[in-house]
Structure 1
Amino acid sequence: MERTYINEVQKEIGSTVKVQGFIENLRNSKYMAFIVLKDITGKLQITVEKEDHPELVDTIDKLTPDSVITVTGKVVENDYVKMGGIEMIPSAIEIESIADALPIVRKEIAATKKKKAVERSSIDQRIDYRWIDLRTDENQLMFKAQSCFVNAMRQFLLERNFIEIHTPKLIAAASESGSEVFKVDYFDRNAYLAQSPQFYKQLA
């Protein structure tokens, strides 16, 4: 069965599909488990009644936030679910990778009757673990906006018969003499990070 992206699940109500992604949120109680699964296109609630699916209990108990899983199940409507009014009732959950405890708190967690509030990690801590911090909706929005903007510029230029070129990023000799350069070992020789594509633009 081919993977279905979450933004396409709405069209598959009543059907069995396979989705994959990160676990954004996990509530695992004695009788029920709720998993919020996230991929690049959206979020989906996975609802498990443990009495109906005892074979999934051991797998669910191993899960942690940010673990990656593949879930196969039936898509059903549920007006009580905030994420588009649909959820998935899984028939199988496959663990792709288990995440360790997260080293940062990406979002502030409000206090409840049973738990104290948790402050968001400082910007220095989040920069140290940037690849984890980038999984939040707010941070991904920056790159989605950038992608849209760059695509619009590319289409504008292509419609006017411009040609797109990709210049070398690693070169055999430093392009700016007398300035500080970034040197790397490239097989049996040195290579340098190109500081300017000007030379290649002139050749083109």
Structure 2
Amino acid sequence: MRERHLVKDLAAMKDGPVVLGGWVEKLRDQKRIQFIILRDESGDVQVTYPRPADEDALADKVSTLTNGSFIWVKGRLVHDERVKLGGLEIQLDDLEIVTLSEPETPIADDTSIDKRLDWRFLDMRRPEMNLVFKVQTTIEAAWRSYWLENGFTEIHSPKLMASASESNAELFKLEYFEGFAYLAQSPQFYKQMAMMAGLGRIFEIGPVFRADPSFTSRHATEFTSVDMEVSWIDSHEDVMNIQEELMVAAISAVKESHGEEIKRLFDIDVIVPSRPFPRIPLADAVDIVKARGHEVVRGGDMDPEGER
């Protein structure tokens, strides 16, 4: 691996030589000075190069850059509070172009979601989208730490099954050699088998598949499921307490690692809830919903409109 400095580490470093690798977020090619906004997976920084009066090969190379081009930059880190972007800049000494991108990008700020999904790898360069995956990683790490500290064992259940794990109506059926198999709708059977095997406490984070034609946000044909199973409980209160602890652990980790960035990009304050969470019996919740103009007609559960 070629050694490089990450943008997020520059603020804590002393002025001096650095090597950065990333892509061109923006180029301002002015008559007397050139500005490159360089972004890597951790942030962005301003790179400057004063144009010499005479012909200059490095200035000419900078002029060829396009938004999205991947480059290596060698230069000198300078802390300067006048610089709006983080109070620091890189004074360019050398530039290596890894790949030049097309001058016209296929997506812009006002591009529709459908086209953004067609060019997902470009859309994910946006800090807002990049942050989604960082937050997901932080949440999973926090949950895994909680589970392992509390005696859980991680399992990886099969995703090809010989029969349905839940309703037959939501199965994806596919050819499997001389017969057929089904994509797993849930790891439920395997969780229960793990309990009978004496594992006691297990968890799994993995994909599940539902052949549900609905196009609402409540239904997805493929999603990542977070499952756990616990033996030797006294009541549902034990499960609810674990769920509360998991939520607090996850939100606390997100606040610590990404709270400032979430505030900057989305103007949302990450607030860690206090325990115990407020609890309302289902019968009382049904009465509250009815008082607000909606009657839950199906028995035993809250319907989608009631939840909204």
Confirm or deny: 8 A CA contact 1:175 1:195 kept in the other structure: no
Any runs of at least 4 consecutive aligned residues in structure 1 with deviations exceeding 6 A, and if so which? Answer: none
Number of equivalences? 187
2:104 corresponds to 1:104: no
Q: Show CA shifts across 1:146-166 (max 9, x none).
A: 222222221111110112223
Inter-partner Cα distance in structure 2 for 1:139 and 1:163: 32
Q: Which residue of 2 aligns with 1:147?
A: 137
Inter-partner Cα distance in structure 2 for 1:58 and 1:86: 24
2:41 corresponds to 1:51: no
Inter-partner Cα distance in structure 1 for 2:17 and 2:98: 20
Higher fraction of helix: 2
Inter-partner Cα distance in structure 1 for 2:83 and 2:51: 19
Q: Which residue of 2 aligns with 1:111?
A: none
Inter-partner Cα distance in structure 2 for 1:50 and 1:90: 11
2:28 corresponds to 1:27: yes
The alpha-carbon deviation at position 82 of structure 1 amounts to 1.2
The residue matched to 2:12 in structure 1 has which SS? Answer: helix
Q: TM-score, normalised by structure 2?
A: 0.53
Letter in 2 for 1:49: P
Q: Show CA shifts across 1:75-121 (max 9, x none).
A: 0122221122110012111111111221010x2xxxxxxxxxxxx11
Q: Which residue of 1 aligns with 2:172?
A: 181
Deviates more, 1:131-140 or 1:68-77: 131-140
Letter in 1 for 2:124: L
Inter-partner Cα distance in structure 2 for 1:191 and 1:96: 45
Letter in 2 for 1:161: G
**Which residues of 2 match residues 1-204 of structure 1 at below 5 A?**
2-51=3-52, 54-100=56-102, 101-105=104-108, 107=109, 120-169=110-159, 171=160, 175-176=163-164, 180-181=171-172, 183=174, 193-204=183-194
Percent of counterpart pairs with the same letter? Answer: 38
The alpha-carbon deviation at position 193 of structure 1 amounts to 4.9
Inter-partner Cα distance in structure 1 for 2:170 and 2:62: 55
CA 1:174–1:61: 2 relative to 1, 3 Å: farther
Higher relative CO (CA 8 A, sep ≥ 6), structure 1 or 2? 1
Inter-partner Cα distance in structure 2 for 1:136 and 1:184: 40
CA 1:54–1:203: 2 relative to 1, 3 Å: farther
Inter-partner Cα distance in structure 1 for 2:146 and 2:14: 39
Inter-partner Cα distance in structure 1 for 2:183 and 2:26: 41
The alpha-carbon deviation at position 200 of structure 1 amounts to 4.0
Confirm or deny: 8 A CA contact 1:47 1:89 kept in the other structure: yes
Confirm or deny: 8 A CA contact 2:71 2:95 kept in the other structure: yes
The alpha-carbon deviation at position 191 of structure 1 amounts to 8.4
The alpha-carbon deviation at position 58 of structure 1 amounts to 2.6
Listed as ranges, the gaps of 5+ residues in structure 1 are: 108-119
Letter in 2 for 1:18: V
Aligned CA-pair RMSD: 2.9
Deviates more, 1:11-20 or 1:41-50: 11-20
Deviates more, 1:15-24 or 1:43-52: 43-52
Inter-partner Cα distance in structure 1 for 2:111 and 2:155: 41
Inter-partner Cα distance in structure 2 for 1:165 and 1:66: 40
Q: Which residue of 2 aligns with 1:116?
A: none
Point out the structure with max Rg over C-alpha: 2
